[in-house]
Amino acid sequence: MSVRTLASSKEKTFDGGPSPLAPKRRPFGVWFKDKGWRHVVGVVTTIFAVFPLLYVLSAALDSNGTLVGSNGLFSRFDTGNFVALFSDPTRPFGRWFVNTLVVGTVTSAATVFLGAMAAYAFSRMRFKGRRMGLLTLLLLQMFPQLLAVVAIFLLLSGISQVIPALGLGSQLGLIMVYLGGALGVNTYLMYGFFNTVPQSLDEAAKIDGASHVQIFFGIILRLVTPILAVVGLLAFIGISSEFVIASVVLTDPDSQTLAVGLYSYVAQQRSENWGVFAAGAVIAAIPVMALFLFLQKYIVSGLTAGSVKG
């Protein structure tokens, strides 16, 4: 992140400082060749990037409702769609929202915990098969769970016969399935971060009589909080968009998540329900986008750290 903050502070000095002196006398052509075209690119790209978001916002605020009616951007402002969204008993949007929060929160919390335990073992202990284990995790995460969606469906329908509370149609079952992907990427990510915490801290604590559990919860987890937060929030964002497995496991509208529920709004009649769908999309997207933008600097530093490593 240091690169970015450095860049932005320099930006300020250039903008506010010496720039008013020199460029004023520069002819337009020179300015355009040097910087102007960059603004043209920036504006065009920004329009491309932002337009669909404005479009869905405008459709959400126009209670006219249909797809055709949504074409006049921001021609009307009212909250009719949002009222309709929360008053349809066959499509309980409020429940979907809560379900998504519950499934996402439980899964990401458990993911962080399981991943941290595994990362602790890999980072702090030496045992037979450690290298092999890390390698296997690295390989397994190349195969996303959705590839085995058929088998997951049949496995859960088998579980339904024995323990209905964990089988098809249950959110608990869905959470269990998601936890199958809890190791993999996350462990690898955390493993790298755990390694940056000096071993001497553990050793010192051990000499003072701390048990491995106390070291794990009392020292390591506290020092790696940032990575725990990032992993947890990324897991949450990922799960809130997951459609394939959720759509197969959650059959009852009351138990569905936002991804499955909102799709059902437009699966059959895309045009008629457009306004209400747009309202739902806005509400569903706002928390995720807020989280993402809030986390932006962590995510960006993660991405760039990865890319410059070589």
Among 103, 183, 224, 276, binds other proteins (CB under 8 A): 183
Binders in 203-222 for other proteins, by CB under 8 A? 203, 206, 209-213, 216
Of 228 and 278, the one with the shorter C-beta distance to other proteins is: 278
Q: Does 134 bind other proteins (CB under 8 A)?
A: yes
Torsion-angle region of residue 27: left (phi > 0), alpha (psi -120 to 50) or beta? beta
Among 30, 33, 72, 269, binds other proteins (CB under 8 A): 72
Per-residue CA distances from 252 to 96, 171, 175, 230, 260 (Å): 11, 11, 16, 32, 11
Among 84, 85, 103, 152, binds other proteins (CB under 8 A): 152
Binding to other proteins by CB under 8 A, coded x per residue (else -) over 26-55, reads ---------x--xx-xx--xx-xxx-xx-x
Of 67 and 103, the one with the shorter C-beta distance to other proteins is: 67
- What angle (nearest 5°) sits at the alpha carbon of residue 161, between those of residues 158 and 162? 100
Binders in 93-112 for other proteins, by CB under 8 A? none
Whether the CA torsion 114, 119, 125, 126 is positive or negative: it is positive
Q: Does 125 bind other proteins (CB under 8 A)?
A: yes
Q: Does 226 bind other proteins (CB under 8 A)?
A: no
Q: Does 71 bind other proteins (CB under 8 A)?
A: yes
Among 76, 83, 88, 180, binds other proteins (CB under 8 A): 180
Query: C-beta of 140: minimal distance to other proteins in Å?
Result: 6
Scanning 76-84, 90-98, 218-226, 276-284 for contacts with other proteins by CB under 8 A, the matching segment is: 276-284
Whether the CA torsion 200, 203, 207, 209 is positive or negative: it is positive
Alpha-carbon 248 to chain mean position: 21
Query: C-beta of 98: minimal distance to other proteins in Å?
Result: 17
Torsion-angle region of residue 72: left (phi > 0), alpha (psi -120 to 50) or beta? beta
Per-residue CA distances from 281 to 85, 138, 191, 243 (Å): 10, 34, 36, 14
Among 83, 222, 293, 297, binds other proteins (CB under 8 A): 293
Scanning 25-33, 77-85, 91-99, 130-138 for contacts with other proteins by CB under 8 A, the matching segment is: 130-138
Contact (CB, 8 A) for 248 and 152: yes
Of 84 and 220, the one with the shorter C-beta distance to other proteins is: 220
Query: C-beta of 90: minimal distance to other proteins in Å?
Result: 18
Q: Which of 228, 235, 120, 251 is nearest to 181 (CA)?
A: 235
Q: Does 225 bind other proteins (CB under 8 A)?
A: no
| Rounded-to-integer distance, Cα 99 and Cα 103, Å | 6
How many residues sit close enough to other proteins to count as binding (CB under 8 A)? 132
Of 82 and 191, the one with the shorter C-beta distance to other proteins is: 191
Scanning 76-84, 86-94, 218-226, 259-267 for contacts with other proteins by CB under 8 A, the matching segment is: 259-267
DSSP symbols for 7-41: HHHHHHHHHHTTTTTSGGGS-HHHHIIIIIHHHHH
Q: Enter the DSSP assignment of 71.
A: G
Q: Which of 172, 197, 175 is nearest to 116 (CA)?
A: 197
